[in-house]
């Protein structure tokens, strides 16, 4: 029976981040991962002979700058590449708007459809950057304990002063105004062209079960642009695939003697009189530790591992009230040749594409979640990773990876099955064919990942990629619950570091960084 200072459950980005920081601080750390390799939602896989894909995330929107600096990630082999074109929004009749790293080129692209909108673009992205800077500082904080906010907690929030000094209290007013907005309210204030309005709205619904007409999509839009450096639809690709981020963190952690065991399933977090003292493995082994950190979502952590009988009735109710409602699926296509995207040259393909002709199109697609069915005309984003990295496909062949909203976990009067997956595939190919006329003739192999698959393979409750919906009632001191929002469970020595904690989903590592700082306080 080995004794460790800390056991971390799950080797995704946040688990590895926490392990790296604690290992660097001299703690004896053990990381346990149920899958065969590390990475979680940053994983890659070979889905057909010779064809590789990023399983869930094709891009990294932002990484916490504190993490990059503390672990010196750039020097450790993490190479992030920002494409010249950040995103291309595809409309009807070969219409498209390209969002460039060079803002002047974005303005030119918008001007093809609206001179008025192109003249407003710089002001709009400055406005979004200003509001995102407030979130950047909020994200660095451990949420205060409500309602007990004392001098200590107030002093801990002094980092909020820098955006206030820069933008004034008006900036806070604007943040409080925009965060609860629905997308049509936001775009109505700025733009007239429908394709541009829709392209902005896609940021508000990213990985949500809601459509653009849902309140609070303004907050999700801002979340996507934290540390965006004033670039709308800001993205970066990791050279070698998204899993490279996880591999760099793993190597860093192991350099500080962190032990990482894969194919090792934890079946319970052991508690005695509300004190956590270790874990039990599937093979019957028990491992003791002074502190346990879970990077799993709250449902898996508390209901499946701690067990409902070890929770107070009030806390159990809070955990049961967390909304997940996963509705995002992934499809990977192995292609015999490069797809021909209407109106787009081969040189422009190193980017993300979105098929979203109008805000109304996005809203109709989201209706599928309400009715528990697949969207006939889904919102589809896709990337061709093989044009970025030749190792993703055999020479002359390619991979197209698509993210689909809306494909709800909860289907009415049926369950996820091969026939439902086939229907999803057909709906997606029909949608792709409008912008890639030759798509059907070049598909060699298809891999479909439903929300149920995400739950079974990655332990994501209801297939939710954020470990809980990104909504204002599940934000900051209410994420995951009021009594566990400081990365500490209401069970002594048990901590949380996954995306279910503040500040939510994404491959940024902020949750793991903040959680590690809390663990080090004890």
Q: Tens digits of per-residue pLDDT, 84-105?
A: 999 999 998 889 999 999 999 9
Residue whose pair of structure tokens reads 């849902």 in the numeric block: 214
Q: What phi and psi values does residue 246 have, to the nearest 5 degrees? A: -65, -40
Instruction: Report the SS3 class of residue 332.
Output: strand
- Going along the chain from its start, the domains and CATH numbers come out as 3-42+63-78+240-323+470-521 (3.50.50.60), 119-234 (no CATH), 327-408+410-449 (3.30.519)
d(CA 376, CA 394): 32
What's the pLDDT score for residue 165? Answer: 67
With a CB cutoff of 8 Å and minimum separation 6, the contacts of 226 are 62, 132, 135, 136, 139, 503, 508
pLDDT, tens digit, 9 for 90 and up, residues 489-518:
999 999 999 999 999 999 999 999 999 999
Choose among 197, 201, 198, 195: nearest CA to 183: 201
Over residues 287-318, the pLDDT tens digits come to 999 999 999 999 999 999 999 999 999 999 99
Q: Is the dihedral of CA 163, 169, 171, 173 positive or negative?
A: positive
Angstrom distance (rounded) from CA 474 to CA 98: 33
- Tens of pLDDT, residue by residue over 240-277, are 999 999 999 999 999 999 999 999 999 999 999 999 99
pLDDT tens digits for 323-377?
999 999 999 999 999 999 999 999 999 999 999 999 999 999 999 999 999 999 9
- The rounded distance, in Å, linking the Cα atoms of 225 and 400 is 25
Cis peptide before 503 (omega within 30 of 0): yes
* Sequential DSSP letters for 272-319: ETTEEEEEEETTS-EEEEEEEEE-S-HIIIIIIII-GGGS-HHHHHHH
Beta strands in 56-195 (DSSP E): 80-81, 85-90, 96-100
Q: Look at residue 93 in the predicted model and tell me its pLDDT.
A: 87
| The two three-digit tokens of residue 403, written as one number | 């993210």
Q: What integer pLDDT is reported at residue 147 of this predicted model? A: 61
Res. 1: pLDDT tops 70: no
Please tell me the predicted confidence (pLDDT) of residue 156.
55
Taking the CA atoms of the chain, what radius of gyration do you get in angstroms?
Answer: 22
């Amino acid at each position: 029976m080995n004794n460790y200072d800390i056991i971390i459950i799950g080797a995704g980005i946040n688990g590895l981040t926490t392990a790296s920081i604690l290992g660097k601080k001299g703690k004896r750390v053990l990381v346990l991962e149920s899958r065969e390799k590390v990475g979680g939602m940053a994983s890659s896989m070979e889905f057909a002979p010779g064809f590789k894909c990023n399983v869930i995330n094709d891009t990294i929107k932002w990484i916490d700058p504190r993490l990059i600096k503390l672990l010196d990630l750039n020097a450790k082999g993490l190479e992030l590449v920002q494409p010249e074109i950040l995103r291309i929004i595809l409309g009807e009749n070969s219409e498209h708007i390209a969002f460039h790293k060079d803002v002047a080129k974005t303005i030119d692209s918008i001007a093809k459809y609206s001179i008025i909108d192109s003249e407003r673009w710089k002001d709009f992205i400055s406005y979004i950057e200003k509001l995102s800077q407030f979130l950047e500082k909020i994200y660095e904080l451990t949420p205060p304990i409500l309602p007990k906010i004392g001098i200590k907690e107030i002093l801990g929030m002094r980092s909020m002063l820098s955006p206030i000094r820069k933008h004034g209290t008006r900036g806070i007013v604007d943040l409080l105004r925009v965060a609860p907005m629905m997308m049509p309210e936001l775009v109505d204030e700025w733009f007239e062209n429908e394709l541009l309005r829709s392209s902005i709205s896609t940021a508000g619904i990213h990985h949500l079960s809601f459509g653009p007409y849902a309140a609070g999509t303004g907050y999700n839009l801002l979340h996507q642009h934290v540390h965006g450096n004033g670039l709308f639809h800001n993205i970066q690709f990791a050279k070698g695939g998204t899993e490279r981020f996880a591999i760099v963190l793993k190597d860093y952690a192991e350099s500080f003697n962190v032990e990482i065991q894969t194919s090792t399933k934890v079946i319970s977090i052991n508690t005695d009189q509300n004190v956590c003292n270790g874990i039990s493995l599937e093979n019957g082994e028990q491992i003791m530790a002074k502190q346990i950190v879970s990077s799993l979502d709250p449902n898996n952590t508390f209901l499946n591992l701690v067990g409902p009988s070890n929770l107070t009735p009030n806390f159990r109710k809070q955990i049961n009230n967390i909304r997940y409602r996963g509705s995002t699926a992934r499809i990977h296509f192995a292609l015999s040749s490069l797809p021909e995207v209407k109106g787009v040259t081969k040189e422009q393909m190193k980017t993300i594409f979105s098929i979203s002709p109008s805000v109304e199109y996005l809203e109709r697609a989201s209706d599928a979640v309400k009715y528990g069915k697949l969207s006939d005309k889904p919102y589809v984003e896709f990337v061709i990773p093989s044009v970025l990295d030749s190792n993703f496909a055999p020479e002359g062949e390619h991979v197209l990876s698509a993210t689909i909203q809306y494909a709800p976990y909860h289907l009415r009067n049926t369950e996820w099955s091969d026939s439902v997956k086939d229907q999803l595939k057909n709906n997606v190919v029909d949608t792709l064919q409008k912008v890639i006329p030759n798509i059907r003739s070049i598909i060699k192999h298809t891999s479909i990942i439903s929300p149920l698959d995400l739950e079974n393979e990655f332990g994501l409750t209801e297939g939710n990629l954020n470990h809980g919906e990104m909504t204002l009632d599940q934000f900051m001191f209410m994420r995951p619950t009021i009594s566990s929002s400081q990365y500490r469970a209401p069970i002594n020595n048990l901590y949380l570091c996954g995306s279910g904690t503040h500040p939510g989903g994404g491959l940024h590592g902020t949750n793991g960084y903040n959680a590690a700082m809390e663990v080090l306080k004890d």
